[in-house]
Chain A
Amino acid sequence: KNEVEQSPQNLTAQEGEFITINCSYSVGISALHWLQQHPGGGIVSLFMLSSGKKKHGRLIATINIQEKHSSLHITASHPRDSAVYICAVYGGSQGNLIFGKGTKLSVKP
């Protein structure tokens, strides 16, 4: 079993839909990271959180430490949101990132 599990693996949505991507982890962590990988491969950091909720524009990330679960929400989705969204947790002996396999999101106009 992977230490970081994301669901769904693939997601297709219509423009304007509310989107939720889930991340569950099995290791003890100090923080969780949501990343966005563009079709060309470049990775951008979206959020880093260790408790509660963070919001940036149309993106919202929540984490429940007790349940070892985090969600990334996108409100009023747009085709430019199409990307792979990766959940990563800080674990390991040096607090290194452990990555989920990503969720590929396609938003259709």
Chain B
Amino acid sequence: SQTIHQWPATLVQPVGSPLSLECTVEGTSNPNLYWYRQAAGRGLQLLFYSVGIGQISSEVPQNLSASRPQDRQFILSSKKLLLSDSGFYLCAWSKGAGTDTQYFGPGTRLTVL
């Protein structure tokens, strides 16, 4: 069966510090991968998606970046965190694009102070 992992579960970082969140998927190959953010009081927002290694599409311009160094690994990064980067970050995967069901990871709660 397929599983999706995210770490860390919670993170408190000072403004201006770097960020690296990792997401890995097991039990499937060549998944579509997604990074979402849920800011306090707001709905989920798609940040990045990837259809293959090294292929990243950005939905929202920001100081975040994403990379996919391996088929089942998706990393969300920032060189300098802003207060507005605080939120709940969710990774998800699907077998294909379009209307395939997306399966979500447990999420990382990031607080930037």
Interface presence of A61 (CB below 8 A): no
A residues contacting B by CB (< 8 A) are: 2, 4, 30-31, 33, 35, 41-45, 48, 50, 86, 88, 90, 92, 94-102
User: Taking CB as reference atom, which chain A residue is nearest B109?
Assistant: A41
Which of A2, A88, A92, A94 lies in contact with B44, CB distance below 8 A? A88
Q: Number of B residues whose C-beta is below 8 Å from A?
A: 22
User: Taking CB as reference atom, which chain B residue is nearest A93?
Assistant: B57
User: Taking CB as reference atom, which chain A residue is nearest B104?
Assistant: A43
Least distance between A50 CB and chain B CB atoms (Å): 7
Chain A residue contacts of B97, Cβ below 8 A = 94-95
In the A-B complex, the 8 residue pairs with the smallest Cβ-Cβ separation, listed nearest first, are: A95-B98, A43-B104, A31-B99, A99-B44, A101-B43, A99-B43, A41-B107, A90-B99
Chain A residue contacts of B98, Cβ below 8 A = 30, 90, 94-95
Given A99-B43, A101-B43, the answer on whether A94 and B57 have CB atoms closer than 8 Å is yes
Chain B residue contacts of A86, Cβ below 8 A = 43-44
- Bound complex: CA A95 to CA B99 (Å): 7
B residues contacting A by CB (< 8 A) are: 34, 38, 42-46, 49, 57, 59, 88, 90, 97-99, 101-104, 106-107, 109
Given contacts A90-B99, A96-B34, A99-B44, 9 further A-B contacts (CB under 8 A): A31-B99, A33-B101, A43-B107, A44-B104, A45-B104, A86-B43, A88-B44, A98-B46, A99-B45
Given A88-B44, A90-B98, A99-B44, the answer on whether A41 and B103 have CB atoms closer than 8 Å is no
User: Taking CB as reference atom, which chain B residue is nearest A6?
Assistant: B43
CB pair A43–B90 under 8 Å, yes or no, is yes
A-B contacts, 30 listed (Cβ < 8 Å) = A2-B43, A4-B43, A30-B98, A30-B99, A31-B99, A41-B38, A41-B88, A41-B107, A41-B109, A42-B104, A43-B104, A43-B107, A44-B104, A45-B101, A45-B103, A86-B44, A88-B44, A90-B98, A90-B99, A92-B59, A94-B57, A95-B97, A95-B99, A96-B34, A96-B46, A96-B49, A97-B102, A99-B44, A99-B45, A101-B42
